[in-house]
Amino acid sequence: MIITTTLSVEGRTISEYLGIVSAAQVMVMPGGNKGVQRGWQAGVDGATEILLQQAASLGADAVVGVSYTPFGMNICATGTAVRLI
């Protein structure tokens, strides 16, 4: 499955919009810059996995327009599940 922050997938056409998918993942932020980076990345990875599961349950080929937003100790992700031709 393709996941992208852009609104389209280069070389492919969106044939159907299936709906918005969203996720929230708690970030664990150990001390120091490296710990913060690892916490952020783990949050992004966890939220992305949830988006992919939701999109797959809708029969999507891709999630477009994905955005990641920190909210307190959570990272929130949203995107649009689509079918491609």
* CA distances from residue 26 to 29, 41, 64, 66, 78 in whole angstroms, order as listed: 10, 11, 23, 18, 15
Q: Is the per-residue pLDDT at 60 higher than 90?
A: yes
Task: Report phi then psi at 6, rounded to 5.
Answer: -80, 165
Answer for the pair 49, 66: CB distance below 8 angstroms, yes or no. Answer: no
Its pTM stands at: 0.85
65 Ramachandran zone, left/alpha/beta (phi>0; psi -120 to 50)? left
pLDDT, tens digit, 9 for 90 and up, residues 1-52: 999 999 999 999 999 999 999 999 987 766 666 767 777 888 899 999 999 9
Ordered by start, the domain boundaries in the chain are 2-84
Q: What CATH architecture is 2-84?
A: 2-Layer Sandwich (3.30)
